[in-house]
Every structure is written in C-alpha cells, then in structure tokens.
Amino acid sequence: MSESLSVVIVTGLSGSGKSTAIRVLEDIGFYCIDNLPVVLIPNFLELCRLSPEISRVALGVDLREREFLRDSPRILDRLFEQSLPVEVLFLDASDEALIRRFSETRRPHPLSREGSPAEGIALEREKLLDMRDRASRIIDTTALTVHELRQELLQWFGSRGAQGTFSVSLMSFGYKYGTPNDADVVFDARFLANPYFVTDLRNLDGHDERVAAFVLDNDAARGFIERVLGLLDFTLPLHQREGRAYLTVAVGCTGGRHRSVALVDRLGYLLKERGYSVQLRQRDLGR
C-alpha cells in the first residue's frame, strides 16, 4: 500500500461522538465510510491505494458491525502486521454522560433491554475492549461540546498533511470536575497560591496578565515550570522515538480557571520555542 494513504478507524461507545468525528474528517477531505463490514476493510483499502484521488480514508467501526465486530481485532492486527499506516481513534465518555445523552435524545441504547441504557453501556464497553486496547488515540468527550470535539479533531487531523510532526497537547483542568481520562501525564498545581482568594483577581482567569503574574512570578511557580520542562525535554524525544504521534499533558488546579490556565499558557509558549507543535485546551475555563 502506498505510504501516502492515511487511514483512520473511528470507533468507540454509542453516544460518544463518533458520528461527529466522521463528519469532521469528511469535511477536511477524508473519504469516509461508516459501518463498513470489517472483513471488507483490507480489500477496500487496496482499492483506495489504486485510486489517485484518495489519499486519506476514515472508516467507522462500532457496535453496528454485529457479528462482524468480533473480527475487528483480528483484521486490525493483520493491517498492523503489514505495517500499513492505520490509526485507531477511540471515542469514550463517562457512563453518566452517555446516559444523559441518551435521555436527551430519547433514543434507546442498542444493547439495552428495558429502555435503561446503563446495562447496554456496560455490555458495549466489554464488547469494545479489544478495540480500545488497539487505539492510537483516545478522546474522552465527557466534558466536550460538539464544537470543542470538532476543534480537537481539526487540531490533530486538519493539518496532518502539512505538519506530519510530533504534537504536544497541553490541557488545563479543575480537580473539582475530575481528572481527564485522556491525559498521558498529569501535574498538580494546587500547591501554588490561589488567585481565587484575591478579590481583584477572582472573576478573571489565567489568560489575564494580572492573574498570570500572580501565578507565575514566584519561586515556586518558576521551579515547577523548570522541572516540568526538564522532564518533557527528556521524555518527549523518547516518545517520538517509539513512534508516538502525540502526548497529552494535563495541569490541574482546584477549579481549572486560574493557576492551571496560566501555567498551560506559559508551558505552551516555551514548548513552541523549542520547536514542538503544541495545541492548548482549557477544559474547565468556562465552568
């Protein structure tokens, strides 16, 4: 298969945003087919290789495969063994978020027996475990709006052809809203003085120069940034050497509004200076 053909397998839990992901990839030029039987994927990709007009392909694979779903791990392993350029994008979300989404749309879960989606979600997680284990990238959509999911996909896939480089995703978050499931590395910044307790700064956020100065202009913050950068300077090249396309680094404070935002902004600036492709995501800033 031609090395110029880029293939993304989009999979994940019902209600996690797979349809949105397929639409986004189609919008940026991927040739998309949703619910193609997995046993046909090798032959289909061979046809794509022969087409001069197809360079990027996205395939939706999920519970709708029915009896073909059990063949998915075997087919993917065969593609991996052939060193084909295939990525597996797995979309996930918390049970609570999925239950809420099914309730809002008034649609039954495809595996629920008596209208309650909880049992269906648990069974679906079990059926998709092998696919999740083979994922190149996992996106937790629990706290993402459709717009935010679209932006994240555009960051990773929209400029893939132009950059083709290792990327670092920096995320701020609030511990009161939970630790992000899709983070590879998590740093806790709650030891720093909190601008929330300063009257003039409470209603501002970490993007504001006054808040940033309060958070960053002290020995504790400077020492933290120096050590985080030292760790990343050492580990990022090793991740690249192992063939990873990205690393997600999360920095948390209590509410995800002041300290973590200022730190992520600063770390992003310094990593860009080092030549890395950097995406910033302030997960809980609007809460």
Same domain, 154 and 179: no
Q: Tell whether 1 is covered by a domain.
A: no
pLDDT at 70: 75
Same domain, 105 and 197: no
Same domain, 114 and 239: no
| Rg over CA atoms, the chain | 21
Whether 2 shows a pLDDT value over 70: the answer reads no
pLDDT at 38: 82
Task: Read off the pLDDT band of 72 (50, 70, 90).
Answer: confident
Whether 205 shows a pLDDT value over 80: the answer reads yes
In the chain, the percentage of residues whose pLDDT exceeds 90 is 47
253-264 per-position pLDDT tens digit: 999 999 999 999
Same domain, 179 and 231: yes
Task: Read off the pLDDT band of 164 (50, 70, 90).
Answer: very low
Task: Read off the pLDDT band of 161 (50, 70, 90).
Answer: very low
Q: Tell whether 35 is covered by a domain.
A: yes
- Of the candidates 163, 189, 214, which is a domain's last residue? 163
Nearest to 156 by CA among 168, 141, 171: 168
Same domain, 127 and 33: yes
Whether 1 shows a pLDDT value over 70: the answer reads no
Query: What pTM, to 2 d.p., does this model score?
Result: 0.58
**Residues 178 and 97 sit within 8 Å (Cβ to Cβ):** no
Its sign, for the CA torsion 74, 137, 89, 53, is: negative
CA angle 14, 133, 186 (to 5 degrees): 90
pLDDT at 213: 97
pLDDT at 200: 95
Name residues whose C-beta falls within 8 Å of residue 216's C-beta, 6 or more positions apart in sequence. Answer: 222, 225, 262, 263, 266
- Of the candidates 135, 163, 191, which is a domain's last residue? 163
For residue 139, which amino acid is it? Answer: I
Same domain, 34 and 148: yes
Nearest to 18 by CA among 65, 54, 74: 65
Q: Tell whether 44 is covered by a domain.
A: yes
Whether 181 shows a pLDDT value over 90: the answer reads no
What whole-number distance in Å separates Cα of residue 66 and Cα of residue 259? 47
What whole-number distance in Å separates Cα of residue 232 and Cα of residue 35? 39
For the ranges 51-60, 131-140, 152-161, 258-267, the one whose mean pLDDT is highest: 258-267
Whether 196 shows a pLDDT value over 50: the answer reads yes
pLDDT at 75: 81
Pairing label, strands 56-60, 167-174 = unpaired
pLDDT at 113: 66
Average of pLDDT values for 94-119? Answer: 78
Whether 89 shows a pLDDT value over 60: the answer reads yes
Q: At 31, phi and psi to the nearest 5?
A: -85, 115
Between 36 and 273, residue with greater pLDDT: 273
Dihedral (C-alpha) 162, 46, 37, 105: value to the nearest 10 degrees?
A: 20
Mapping DSSP to helix (H, G, I), strand (E, B) and coil, where does residue 9 land? strand
Q: Tell whether 256 is covered by a domain.
A: yes
Q: Which residues pair with 249 in a beta bridge?
A: 170, 185
Same domain, 149 and 187: no
pLDDT at 46: 84
Interhelix angle 259-273/209-216, rounded to 10 degrees, is 80
Same domain, 146 and 215: no
- Of the candidates 163, 178, 193, which is a domain's last residue? 163
Same domain, 94 and 70: yes
Same domain, 158 and 27: yes
Dihedral (C-alpha) 18, 22, 24, 29: value to the nearest 10 degrees?
A: 160
The structural domain count of the chain equals 2
Between 101 and 68, residue with greater pLDDT: 101
What whole-number distance in Å separates Cα of residue 244 and Cα of residue 151? 21
Whether 160 shows a pLDDT value over 80: the answer reads no
Between 238 and 213, residue with greater pLDDT: 213
Q: What is the mean pLDDT of the chain?
A: 87
Nearest to 174 by CA among 186, 158, 159, 164: 186
What whole-number distance in Å separates Cα of residue 59 and Cα of residue 68? 14
Expressed as residue numbers, the domain containing 268 is: 167-282
Tell me, what CATH number does 124's domain have? 3.40.50.300
Its sign, for the CA torsion 103, 19, 95, 127, is: positive
